[in-house]
Chains A and B, each alone.
Chain A
Amino acid sequence: MNPSLDGRPVTALIADDEAPMRDLLRARLAAVWPDLSIVAEAANGVEAVELGERHRPDIAFLDIRMPGLSGIEAAKRLYARSHIVFATAYDQYALDAFEQGALDYLLKPVSAERLATTCARVRARLAATAATDAPPQEIGRQLAQLTALLEGRGKPDKPAYLRWIQAQVGSSLRMVSTKEILFFQSDEKYTRVQTAGTEYLIRKTLKELLDELDPDEFWRIHRSTLVRVDAIAEVRRDLRGRQMLRVRGHPEELEVSRNHGYLFQQM
């Protein structure tokens, strides 16, 4: 993996989308590790991979949040040739992950003392891997774990439900948040989307919507009606014994079909 370190200076790549951060890291590195040669600077993840592959630096300092490709994704393409040091500002999840995985990281803003410690450790690791030529499989596994941890947080195993309905209004596309929607009603060729103030028509069928929407957010109460659970005001029986549902913020009453009546049983 690593070339011998004697004779040739150690090379490094810095990747951060914010120029002042790159400047700061470069200045600090010059102070704590004067022999280190910064061979490339990247302003986004894609550039980081490109430059990393071209220059094959010994060390890659990667910011985690970068446009194009995240630092972690970039690391997956680069770790075979370069030792990875992540940089991040204020992200407890990431920090925990780094600590557990024993990956090197810098907390932004980078302090001189902290950078010196990290650099000393990186130097030791470079020397160790140069001696043993160990395959960096371990790091690959840790990166995969990290991705899972960072991307899966906040929504454990939940599939991505539709959160915005796109409705054509004039020449532009109106994005209607599902939190605004009171109900959907199929209407011949179209599906009617009703919010408190407005009504939109979309081409998506009720069946398609049913598959894509969060089943805890919208309930089907009739062959042709989906209603947002949080918008339901009350359900009552009319003179013919049908269950009629009223939503908050709209006067229309919606019929609950016999098949879906079980949704509104008394406790």
Chain B
Amino acid sequence: MRASEINRVLDFVRDAVNEAGRLWWRFFDWVAVVEWRQLFLTWFFVVVFFALVNTPEPGFWFVFISFAVKVLAGGKRKAELMARDATAQANVATLERRLMEARMAALQAQVEPHFLFNTLALIGQLIETDPPEAARVHAHLIDYLRSTLPQMRQRGGATLGKQVELSRAYLAIMQARMKERLAVRFDVPDFLGSAPFPPMMLQTLIENAIKHGLEPKIAGGTVAVRAHVVGADLHVEVCDDGVGIDPHADDGVGLANIRERLQLLYGGDAALDITTPPGGGACATIRLPYKMMEDA
């Protein structure tokens, strides 16, 4: 009986000591990180409070102890805390980058089999009827595959210029198939060619414009690619004058992937906006921070 009672008291004391220790270190960290201005203000209130209750000593002790802690250990402790935060953040960033690289690799491995089949079929047919055109389409297909298949992608492909080049190859193939039903307009100033731009995003938007906007439309239409700088941002938009977007149609993996990758690469600084202009069709705009060159 007595023993258990003593144990209970001991437990209580141990807990109390632990708790006091935790509170002390929390106070210590707070003092280390807090700004002097705020500390002065706190001292003032503490002194006034204890003066009001007529026992000024604890107030002065508080001021003295926190001053001593701040001066003697504050700088070191603050640096420690900041270093810990930075390490945690760096770990998260590294993890995120790895995850992102893995995800991107998975995403970019997808060349639509439909597209490959149809293009090869087209080349096969053109070999019989129009060999020079067959050679042209064949060359476009090679360009396209070179920048699409991850294992063949050369370094430095993540610029707007490269992405536009790849899109032109894709659109040239689609034009050979759709003939007069597909018109293409590019409005990308040369100086933006060196701006970093993530791979396969422009591509996905153009594929969507054709697949969901123009292919279902009997008369076909135009895909317009436009890039310009607005403030500190690079805007790249892909517009079509096709059938527009059905609000009940699933937004598909393509767009979700672009959003996810933008989020991973730029956080909240980049976005993908989809609009339907009053004249019909659909516009997809990627906004991201503009840089002249890729970092070395």
Residues of A at under 8 Å CB distance from B?
17-21, 23-24, 27, 43-44, 46-47, 65, 67-68, 89-90, 108-109, 160-166, 169, 171-180, 196-197
Q: How far is the CA of A173 from the CA of B121 in the complex (A)?
A: 39
State whether A163 and B251 are in contact (beta carbons under 8 Å apart), knowing that A23-B125, A44-B218 are contacts in the complex: yes
Are A173 and B276 neighbours in the complex by a CB distance under 8 Å? yes
Q: Is B101 part of the contact surface with A, judged by Cβ < 8 Å?
A: no
Are A162 and B218 neighbours in the complex by a CB distance under 8 Å? no
In the complex, what's the smallest C-beta–C-beta distance from B290 to chain A, in angstroms?
18
Are B275 and A109 neighbours in the complex by a CB distance under 8 Å? no
B264 cross-chain contacts in A, Cβ below 8 A: none
Closest to A173 in B: B276
Closest to B116 in A: A90
A177 cross-chain contacts in B, Cβ below 8 A: 251, 255-256, 259, 274
Are A163 and B277 neighbours in the complex by a CB distance under 8 Å? no
Which of A17, A19, A175, A179 gathers the greatest number of chain B CB atoms within 10 Å? A175
Are B218 and A46 neighbours in the complex by a CB distance under 8 Å? yes
B120 cross-chain contacts in A, Cβ below 8 A: 109
Q: How far is the CA of A23 from the CA of B218 in the complex (A)?
A: 19
In the complex, what's the smallest C-beta–C-beta distance from B205 to chain A, in angstroms?
13
Q: Is B56 part of the contact surface with A, judged by Cβ < 8 Å?
A: no
* 7 cross-chain pairs, A with B, having the tightest CB-CB distances, nearest first: A109-B121, A24-B125, A175-B274, A160-B248, A177-B251, A164-B247, A172-B275
A selection of 17 A-B contacts at a CB cut-off of 8 Å is A17-B181, A18-B179, A24-B121, A24-B124, A43-B218, A46-B218, A65-B215, A67-B216, A109-B122, A163-B251, A164-B249, A164-B251, A172-B278, A173-B275, A177-B256, A177-B259, A180-B259
Closest to B181 in A: A17
Q: 8 Å CB contacts to A: which residues of B118-173? A: 118, 120-122, 124-126, 128-129
Q: How far is the CA of A197 from the CA of B288 in the complex (A)?
A: 13
B188 cross-chain contacts in A, Cβ below 8 A: none
In the complex, what's the smallest C-beta–C-beta distance from B68 to chain A, in angstroms?
36
Q: Is B114 part of the contact surface with A, judged by Cβ < 8 Å?
A: yes
B268 cross-chain contacts in A, Cβ below 8 A: 196-197
Q: Is B192 part of the contact surface with A, judged by Cβ < 8 Å?
A: no
Are A163 and B247 neighbours in the complex by a CB distance under 8 Å? yes
Q: Is B176 part of the contact surface with A, judged by Cβ < 8 Å?
A: yes
Q: Identify which of B113, B118, B248 contacts A162 (C-beta below 8 A).
A: B248
Q: How far is the CA of A163 from the CA of B251 in the complex (A)?
A: 7
B209 cross-chain contacts in A, Cβ below 8 A: none
In the complex, what's the smallest C-beta–C-beta distance from B115 to chain A, in angstroms?
10
Are B250 and A163 neighbours in the complex by a CB distance under 8 Å? yes
